Structure 1
Amino acid sequence: MKPTATIAAVMTAILAGCSSSPTEESLPTIDLSANLPTKEIFIEDIADVTFTPLETTDSFITRGNLTSITDKHIAVANNGRDGELFIFDRTTGRAISHINRKGQGAGDYTDFSHAVLSNHSDEIYIVCSGLKKIMVYDLKGNLLRELPYALPDDRYIKINSLAEYDADHLLAFLTIGSPRLDTSDSHHAIISKADGTITQSLPISITTPESSVYSKDDFVAVSILPTIGTTPDGWAFFRISSDTIFTLTPDRTLTPLLTRTPSIHTSDPQTFLYPTTATSDIIFLVAVEKTFDIDKMEGFPSTHIAYDRNDRKTYSVQLKSRALGPDYTFTTEPGRLFTPTNPIIAAIALPAETLRDLNLSQPLKTIVETLDEEANPVIMIATAR
């Protein structure tokens, strides 16, 4: 079997040249029922790529699940449940801070699902679902303030995705009313960093609520699908109950980016489609089937898809890197903590043991030769040109 890895990527799509909102007929349409031709794409052809080995010490040992990257810092966690969060220098990989505020005391979190660094200040925003608060800390783990997001009527609410919108606001997708169903009340929102109030709701209308939860008899499995991506001048929004993916422009206007067929409401098996990486020429997406093999405990199979905006064709794509050799192919899984922001279009934590088995090129080969089996991962970051 060829080696693979999970790439944490949500990306950009360029709508240059569109002087008005696209009509339904002009939108790219992804046909999920088609037998797609295969296309091989190297990430170096669409982005500038760097590799940063994370420093390893007795108190800085991590699985390397990316949670956030800024111009200066990289934040990684283990799984969010153990409370561990590690902050490194983005350029050198030097260990800066080890935070764990999991507990029951004042200023602690009971868990976290997202940890977002600020590009505008030395703050980090940690979503604690148990307390229904966004906890704001400095980079040493000192509590600065709490941003509650519980609803006054005690309805179910969860932050599905979180990103930094600007110097004063966060961007989130709020799942409201049901942990299993994409209800009509769920929506994207711009949230104040100062007190957690919603300064603007950004709803995408739906007709029939859908669910990414697979259930059969007493068995339940959940596929967590990313709902926020980035574009060069804004953001990309995905909802599992909508056939259309939208962009949010700087003037806070929602504009359709692409649509799909068959509809999410009629596809069999039900297949979700969300955007990952994109450039001005290609929009990368992932199709996820809501199927599960209980005997093998394997489910939600995913497929890379690329829409070429020049020839207006859709491909099944293999995303590769020349630095990692010809046998290495990236895979994308829907569950992750990481939501990139411009100009980052992709990032991945590469375990040292995986890298040693690959036919690497320089300078990555020299970097890996200095790492032992216990070393922290190497972070690959791809930025838009």
Structure 2
Amino acid sequence: MKPTATIAAVMTAILAGCSSSPTEESLPTIDLSANLPTKEIFIEDIADVTFTPLETTDSFITRGNITSITDKHIAVANNGRDGELFIFDRTTGRAISHINRKGQGAGDYTDFSHAVLSNHSDEIYIVCSGLKKIMVYDLKGNLLRELPYALPDDRYIKINSLAEYDAGHLLAFLTIGSPRLDTSDSHHAIISKADGTITQSLPISITTPESSVYSKDDFVAVSILPTIGTTPDGWALFRISSDTIFTLTPDRTLTPLLTRTPSIHTSDPQTFLYPTTATSDIIFLVAVEKTFDIDKMEGFPSTHIAYDRNDRKAYSVQLKSRALGPDYTFTTEPGRLFTPTNPIIAAIALPAETLRDLNLSQPLKTIVETLDEEANPVIMIATAR
């Protein structure tokens, strides 16, 4: 399989009591050493698609990095460093609130790596790595409570991925012990929204810790890989040191979803395979090589993969949309924004300047004609049928 560089947009032993089937031999297997056939998938064939232009005002100007979507709202950011977070109405794109609590005062965050809206309440959960807290705000930016996650022995800990599990809990992957190594202590966990306590650990055992950090001499580059994806049945859980990806169902059962060959421990170059989203027929994944061209400052080339559950074959996928014309292929992966009550399989921010150069169909063509060059992005949302 020959990977191509793409832009990322914007997720073994089993727990006692987990289902024991299917067996390892019957699992779908992705052969990362194979030259996978190419398959075009038009997103309209697998989902219902809507386009929402985000309102642009003097105080609502954003790059449109999607952090979360609920039935009512879309949250987008520029980056966690500037502290900016914008909330829009999902249906109309109307600007609702502009939050920036970056600072050193009470109730502020020093940075944020994740911002997750609740689909059950008007709350937003912001991960502040500097304070080792999940800050809980209302949609106007008022602090409601803080959920600390620092370890009592002061070991390194970081929240790698965060999602809303249900009305009372969050789902996270906790990187523990080392910022560079996937240690045996790292694990997924279900966390109480009320006080931040771990109500259930979800360990996926590993034999040899691996790292997504590329280093050569004094040069270091890091690929941050999502550890939580989605399926129609629940969540897809991934960790870089395991060959098997698991499904976490609403009853908190872990079952194997698929595996890969060659093993992560023997692949050369080392290639990670993580899930993004899925329909009843297709599992979408991304393969990432741990390679880097220091002279060009380009690295971690990736390949989008679709596993067809019906013919049990994997493909190098080209994801397209008829609304964007036949010549446009998405170079951002499908979003990982699906929840069982909010079945989004893809959410992608489309810059207005990009859309103007495409052979658009209606109603997207009319939407873009109303936008000027300073307009915020148009959000494409694909909802599973």
- TM-score strictly above 0.5: yes
Q: Say whether the 8 Å CA contact 2:276–2:334 is kept in structure 1.
A: no
Does residue 53 in structure 1 map to residue 47 in structure 2?
A: no
Which residue is 2:220 aligned to?
A: 220
Q: Say whether the 8 Å CA contact 2:335–2:348 is kept in structure 1.
A: no
User: How much has 1:153 moved relative to structure 2?
Assistant: 0.3
Q: Bigger CA drift: 72-81 or 327-336?
A: 327-336
Q: Structure 1, unaligned stretches of length 5 or more?
A: none
Which whole-Å CA distance do the structure 2 matches of 1:15 and 1:32 have between them? 27
Cα deviation digits, residues 343-377 of structure 1 (max 9, x gap): 11110000000000111010000000000000000
Which whole-Å CA distance do the structure 2 matches of 1:241 and 1:11 have between them? 15
Which whole-Å CA distance do the structure 2 matches of 1:209 and 1:185 have between them? 10
User: How much has 1:277 moved relative to structure 2?
Assistant: 2.9
Q: Say whether the 8 Å CA contact 1:11–1:229 is kept in structure 2.
A: yes
Q: Structure 2, unaligned stretches of length 5 or more?
A: none
User: How much has 1:342 moved relative to structure 2?
Assistant: 3.6
Distance 1:82 1:240, change over 3 A: same
SS of the residue 1:265 aligns to: coil
Q: Say whether the 8 Å CA contact 1:10–1:275 is kept in structure 2.
A: no
Distance 1:16 1:283, change over 3 A: farther
Q: Say whether the 8 Å CA contact 2:269–2:291 is kept in structure 1.
A: yes
Q: Give the alignment's TM-score, normalised by structure 1.
A: 0.94
Which whole-Å CA distance do the structure 1 matches of 2:104 and 2:200 have between them? 32
Q: Bigger CA drift: 227-236 or 262-271?
A: 227-236
User: How much has 1:234 moved relative to structure 2?
Assistant: 1.4
Q: Say whether the 8 Å CA contact 1:9–1:277 is kept in structure 2.
A: no
SS of the residue 1:235 aligns to: strand
Which whole-Å CA distance do the structure 1 matches of 2:328 and 2:17 have between them? 36
Which residue is 1:20 aligned to?
A: 20
Matches within 5 A, 1:159-170: 159-170=159-170
Distance 1:220 1:333, change over 3 A: farther
Which whole-Å CA distance do the structure 1 matches of 2:263 and 2:2 have between them? 33
SS of the residue 1:6 aligns to: coil
Q: Bigger CA drift: 11-20 or 223-232?
A: 11-20
Which whole-Å CA distance do the structure 2 matches of 1:339 and 1:384 have between them? 11
Q: Say whether the 8 Å CA contact 1:246–1:255 is kept in structure 2.
A: yes
Cα deviation digits, residues 284-325 of structure 1 (max 9, x gap): 111100000000000000001111111111111111110011
Percentage identity across paired residues of the two chains: 99
Q: Say whether the 8 Å CA contact 2:133–2:148 is kept in structure 1.
A: yes
Which whole-Å CA distance do the structure 2 matches of 1:61 and 1:2 have between them? 38
Which whole-Å CA distance do the structure 1 matches of 2:307 and 2:2 have between them? 25
Cα deviation digits, residues 137-194 of structure 1 (max 9, x gap): 0000000000000000000000000000111100000000000000000000000000
Runs of 4+ in 1 over 3 A off after TM superposition: 1-20, 332-342
Give the alignment's Cα RMSD to 1 decimal. 3.7
Which whole-Å CA distance do the structure 2 matches of 1:351 and 1:205 have between them? 41
Q: Say whether the 8 Å CA contact 1:12–1:230 is kept in structure 2.
A: no
Distance 1:174 1:128, change over 3 A: same
Q: Say whether the 8 Å CA contact 2:10–2:66 is kept in structure 1.
A: no
User: How much has 1:281 moved relative to structure 2?
Assistant: 1.6
Cα deviation digits, residues 50-106 of structure 1 (max 9, x gap): 000000000000000000000000000001100000000000000000000000000
Q: Say whether the 8 Å CA contact 1:60–1:95 is kept in structure 2.
A: yes
Distance 1:109 1:116, change over 3 A: same
Q: Say whether the 8 Å CA contact 2:234–2:340 is kept in structure 1.
A: no
Which whole-Å CA distance do the structure 2 matches of 1:14 and 1:374 have between them? 50
Q: Give the alignment's TM-score, normalised by structure 2.
A: 0.94
Which whole-Å CA distance do the structure 1 matches of 2:164 and 2:351 have between them? 27
Cα deviation digits, residues 4-54 of structure 1 (max 9, x gap): 997878989999999972011110010000111111110110111100000
Which residue is 2:119 aligned to?
A: 119
Q: Say whether the 8 Å CA contact 1:11–1:278 is kept in structure 2.
A: no
Which whole-Å CA distance do the structure 1 matches of 2:336 and 2:78 have between them? 11
Q: Say whether the 8 Å CA contact 1:231–1:342 is kept in structure 2.
A: no
Distance 1:325 1:308, change over 3 A: same
Q: Say whether the 8 Å CA contact 1:66–1:338 is kept in structure 2.
A: no
Matches within 5 A, 1:131-170: 131-170=131-170
Distance 1:4 1:360, change over 3 A: farther
SS of the residue 2:191 aligns to: strand
User: How much has 1:332 moved relative to structure 2?
Assistant: 3.5
Which whole-Å CA distance do the structure 1 matches of 2:113 and 2:197 have between them? 20
1 or 2 for the larger relative contact order (CA 8 Å, sep ≥6)? 1
Q: Say whether the 8 Å CA contact 2:334–2:348 is kept in structure 1.
A: no
Which whole-Å CA distance do the structure 2 matches of 1:5 and 1:295 have between them? 16
SS of the residue 1:252 aligns to: coil
Distance 1:81 1:9, change over 3 A: closer
Which whole-Å CA distance do the structure 2 matches of 1:243 and 1:2 have between them? 20
Distance 1:31 1:12, change over 3 A: same
Matches within 5 A, 1:31-180: 31-180=31-180
